[in-house]
């Protein structure tokens, strides 16, 4: 049987190191299975967060060979067949709790700052597909926070104080583009959400396990809406004279 | 809440990625640098840009004024230059290749605790992209006109007895088609055409917007590809014009002309 050489980061906020394990590889096995094997057969105190094992709960985010990935969606065979060592470590942008588990609570705090869905009081709840299609893409988000992890503004420059990150740009887009919403989040987005901090280098899109086109469909359209309001006097004029929200 | 990272990855370029992440930024760095050198040289050269019915896209529209003593290209190139420099795709490309913010995903970039991205200083100018789009679209209109000029022998525009198809015609039409694919797949254009609306079904006009927006979206999905091939085609059209102007490879070979038909019939 094929055997994978794994290096898993073990430690807590005081520090840690990679530890090596040998794990037998079965057909269809994913990295999360390997973590379960280690827990079951070698070291039961390995901390790993997971829930659905179906790439739908967003709990098992980690970095596998340096790539932010869902452990339950990352196959072992490819790496193992090439004789490649498989390195597993926690996502880098958030504080460590233990081993592969990080504290992502900052994200929930950010979420609270966003004005929630605010429908018109007399809204007609029949919604046409063409009006909701854009928003449906954003609703696929499973809050794995891999995009937050890979975003260099958060990861490298640690500007959590100034930028809400791609996951929440997606959430704002889902509200701003909603046909029944009456809220206006552009001022928040420009001044406190830090939309301008994103330099559209697209890493969020590259890692999103739900294939949401975060940059093209959420962030850039929001940046353009900010331009309408703050940088383009002609568009601003037309918007205020002719368009009623 | 501000501490990050479990392992020592603070230095620029540090990563645990094992795949090939260097090639993409390196290719961009090389291609954009070579293009910038070629473009600058051609803009200042002020020669070999017009021959017969061919006018290099670097010099079109030809703006000649008595008060301007330098190359006319310097008056027109800032428009496509600004359009590309503020393009959402090229921004990704050069931020990665030249600024390392970041070079590649999950590779430590030039970390800066005071990083503000495009929200301050000169970088806020990126917000004028749609105005660059308007101006570049006007220039594109002129380039289409130039391409139509190549359909007639020099000095006989719209005289159908002088209709012809030359190598230059093909080079120029390919260029304007690719440039149009690039320009009309622009994110600003996508926004203005319909992306700015919250509801597409509310009126006849918004339904029209939806169908335009959907078409633009199709182009926009491949915007990166259009960005590169149109960059090469515009350079190709310039190179072709220069070579014909300089060496007159028999003054732009004609592949089809009305004379050919007349001769054929006479035989
Ligand atoms: S595109 Fe913007 S939000 Fe996405 S990873 Fe890059 S900087 Fe962050
Ligand atoms: S947008 Fe994608 S990567 Fe980001 S949290 Fe949602 S599912 Fe995860
Ligand atoms: S365990 Fe639910 S996404 Fe991986
Ligand atoms: S986004 Fe590329 S040209 Fe506008």
pLDDT in tens, A136-146: 999 999 999 99
β-strand pairing of A86-89 with A3-12: parallel
Yes or no, beta carbons of B196 and A156 under 8 Å apart:
no
B190 forms bridges with which residues in the sheet?
A: none
pLDDT tens for each residue of B121-162: 999 999 999 999 999 999 999 999 999 999 998 899 999 999
- Residue A89 CA to ligand 3 center (angstroms) comes to 16
Q: What is the pLDDT of residue B4?
A: 42
Alpha carbons B6 and A61: distance in angstroms, whole number: 15
Nearest CA in chain B to A197: B117
| Torsion angles phi and psi, residue B209, rounded to 5 | -55, -40
Domain A2-102 has CATH 3.10.20.30: yes
pLDDT band at B248 (very low <50, low <70, confident <90, very high): confident
pLDDT per residue as tens digits for the range B161-198? 999 999 999 999 999 999 999 999 999 999 999 999 99
> Closest chain A residue to B14 measured between Cα atoms?
A66
Check residue A24 and give left, alpha or beta (phi > 0: left; psi -120 to 50: alpha). beta
Helix (H, G, I), strand (E, B) or coil at B165: strand
- In angstroms, the Cα distances linking B126 to A221, B84, B197 are 14, 11, 22
Distance B77 CA to ligand 4 centre (A): 17
Residues 6+ apart with CB under 8 A from B233: B174, B175, B178, B179
- Would you give the distance in Å from CA B9 to the centre of its chain? 37
- DSSP structure string for chain A: --EEEEEEEEEETTEEEEEEEEEE--TT-BHHHHHHHIIIII-TT-----S-SSS-S---EEEETTEEEEGGG-BSHHHHHTT--EEEE--SSS-EEETTEE--HHHHHHHHTS----B-TT------HHHHHHHHHHHT-----HHHHH-HHHHTS--TTT---HHHHHHHHHHHT-TTB----HHHHHHTS-GGG-----HHHHH-TT---IIIIIIHHHHHHHHHHHT-HHHHHHHHHH---
Share the mean pLDDT of chain B: 93
| Token pair 């919250």 in the structure block, residue | B198
Q: Which pLDDT band holds residue B8 (cuts at 50, 70, 90)?
A: very low
| Region A105-242: CATH code | 1.10.1060.10
Chain B within 8 Å of A117 (Cβ-Cβ)? Answer: no
Residue B85: HSE in the Cβ half-sphere, 13 Å Cα cutoff: 15
Mutation for B interface: A156, A158, A180, A211, most B CBs within 10 A: A156
Cross-strand pairs, B165:
B256
Task: Please compute Rg for chain B using Cα positions.
Answer: 23
ipTM of the complex: 0.95
**A33 in contact with B, Cβ within 8 Å:** no
Which tens digits make up the pLDDT trace of B205-242? 999 999 999 999 999 999 999 999 999 999 999 999 99
A51 shares contact with chain B (CB less than 8 Å): no
Q: Per-residue pLDDT for B2 more than 50?
A: no
Give the distance (Å) from ligand 2 centre to CA of residue B4. 19
Say whether pLDDT at B109 is over 60: yes
Do A162 and A197 meet the contact criterion of CB atoms below 8 Å apart?
yes
Question: Considering the entire predicted model, what is its pTM?
Answer: 0.95
Cβ of B7 within 8 Å of Cβ of A9? The answer is: yes
Instruction: Give the whole-angstrom CA distance, residue A98 versus residue A159.
Output: 23
* Of A147, A129, A152, A155, nearest in space to A199 by CA: A152
SS3 for B254? strand
What pLDDT does B233 receive? Answer: 98
- All residues of chain A having their beta carbon less than 8 Å from the beta carbon of residue B9 are 92
- CA distances for B33 relative to B30, B95, B97, B168, angstroms: 5, 14, 10, 27
pLDDT at residue B253 greater than cutoff 90: no
B7 has a pLDDT exceeding 80: no
Model pLDDT for residues A74-123, shown as the tens digit of each residue: 999 878 777 889 999 999 999 999 999 999 999 999 999 999 999 988 99
pLDDT digits (tens, 9 = 90+) for A4-44: 999 999 999 999 999 999 999 999 999 999 999 999 999 99
Residue A189 vs residue B266, higher pLDDT: A189
A242 has a chain B CB within 8 A of its CB: no
Mutational pocket test of ligand 4: of B88, B118, B135, B181, the residue with most ligand atoms within 8 Å of the beta carbon: B88
What was the pLDDT predicted at B250?
60
Q: What is the DSSP letter of B82?
A: H
From A8's Cα to the closest Cα of chain B, the distance in A is 12
Tokens of B35: 């293009």
Question: Cis omega (within 30 of 0) on the bond before B61?
Answer: yes
Q: Cα(B133) to centroid of ligand 4, in Å?
A: 8
What pLDDT was estimated at residue B251? 63
Q: How confident is the model at residue B27 (pLDDT cuts 50, 70, 90)?
A: very high
Number of CB pairs, chain A paired with chain B, less than 8 A apart: 169
- Contact of A228 with chain B, judged by CB distance below 8 Å, is answered with yes
Please report, rounded to a whole number, the percentage of residues in chain B having pLDDT higher than 70: 95
Nearest-CA residue for ligand 4 atom 4 is B186
Q: Using alpha carbons only, what angle is made at residue A181 by residues A175 and A186, rounded to the nearest 5 degrees?
A: 55
Give the separation between CA A214 and CA A227, rounded to whole angstroms: 18
**Among A164, A169, A201, residue to substitute to test ligand 1 (most atoms within 8 Å of Cβ):** A201
Distance from the CA of A149 to the center of ligand 2, in angstroms? 10
Task: Tell me what the mean pLDDT of segment B27-45 comes to.
Answer: 97
- Buried residues in B18-55 as b, exposed as e (16+ CB within 10 A): beebeeebeebbeebeeeeeebeebbeeeebbbbbbbb
Q: What is the pLDDT of residue B265?
A: 79
Nearest CA in chain B to A132: B199
Retrieve residue A224's tokens: 């353009």
> What local confidence, expressed as pLDDT, does residue B9 receive?
60
Q: How far is CA B168 from CA B45, B107, B212, B247, B249, in A?
A: 21, 45, 32, 14, 11
Nearest to A117 by CA among A164, A186, A177: A177
Question: Cis peptide leading into B102, omega within 30 of 0?
Answer: yes
Q: Residue A78: its pLDDT value, please?
A: 79
For chain A, give the mean pLDDT: 95
């Amino acid at each position: 049987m094929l055997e994978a050489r794994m290096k898993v980061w073990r430690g807590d906020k005081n520090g840690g190191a990679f530890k090596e394990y040998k794990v037998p590889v079965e057909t269809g096995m994913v990295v999360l299975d390997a973590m379960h094997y280690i827990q079951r057969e070698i070291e039961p105190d390995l901390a790993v967060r997971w829930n659905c094992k179906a790439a739908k709960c967003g709990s098992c985010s980690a970095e596998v060979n340096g790539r932010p990935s869902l452990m339950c969606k990352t196959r072992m065979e490819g790496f193992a067949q090439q004789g490649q060592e498989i390195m597993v470590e926690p996502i880098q942008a958030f504080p460590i709790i233990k081993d592969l588990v990080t504290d992502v609570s900052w994200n929930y705090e950010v979420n609270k700052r966003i004005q929630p869905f605010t429908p018109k009081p007399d809204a007609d709840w029949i919604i046409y597909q063409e009006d909701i299609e854009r928003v449906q893409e954003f609703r696929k988000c499973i809050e794995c926070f891999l995009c937050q992890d890979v975003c260099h503004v958060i990861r490298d420059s640690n500007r959590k104080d100034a930028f809400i990150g791609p996951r929440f740009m997606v959430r704002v887009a889902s509200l701003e583009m909603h046909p029944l919403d009456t809220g206006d989040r552009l001022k928040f987005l420009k001044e406190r959400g830090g939309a301008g901090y994103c330099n559209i280098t697209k890493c969020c899109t590259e890692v999103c396990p739900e294939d949401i086109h975060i940059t093209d469909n959420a962030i850039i359209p929001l940046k353009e809406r900010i331009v309408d309001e703050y940088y383009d006097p002609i568009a601003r004029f037309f918007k205020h004279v002719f368009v009623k929200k | 809440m501000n501490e990050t990272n479990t392992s020592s990855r603070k230095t620029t370029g540090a990563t645990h990625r094992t795949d090939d992440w260097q090639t993409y930024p390196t290719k961009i760095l090389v291609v954009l640098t070579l293009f910038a050198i070629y473009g600058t040289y051609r803009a200042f050269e002020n020669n070999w840009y017009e021959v017969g019915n061919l006018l290099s896209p670097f010099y079109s529209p030809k703006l000649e004024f008595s008060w301007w003593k330098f190359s006319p290209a310097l008056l027109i190139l800032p428009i496509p230059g600004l359009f590309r420099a503020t393009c959402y795709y090229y921004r990704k490309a050069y931020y990665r290749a030249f600024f390392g913010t970041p070079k590649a995903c999950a590779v430590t970039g030039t970390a800066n605790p005071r990083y503000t991205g495009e929200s301050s200083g000169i970088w806020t100018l990126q917000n004028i992209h749609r105005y660059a789009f308007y101006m570049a679209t006007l220039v594109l209109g002129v380039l289409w006109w130039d391409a139509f000029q190549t359909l007639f022998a020099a000095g006989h525009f719209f005289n159908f007895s002088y209709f012809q198809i030359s190598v230059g015609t093909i080079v120029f039409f390919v260029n304007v088609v690719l440039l149009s694919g690039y320009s009309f797949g622009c994110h600003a254009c996508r926004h203005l055409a319909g992306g700015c609306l919250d509801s597409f079904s509310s009126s006849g006009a918004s339904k029209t917007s939806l169908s335009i927006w959907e078409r633009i979206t199709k182009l926009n999905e491949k915007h990166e590809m259009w960005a590169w091939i149109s960059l090469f085609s515009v350079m190709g059209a310039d190179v072709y014009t220069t070579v014909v102007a300089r060496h007159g490879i028999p003054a732009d070979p004609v592949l089809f002309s009305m004379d050919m038909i007349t001769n054929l019939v006479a035989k």
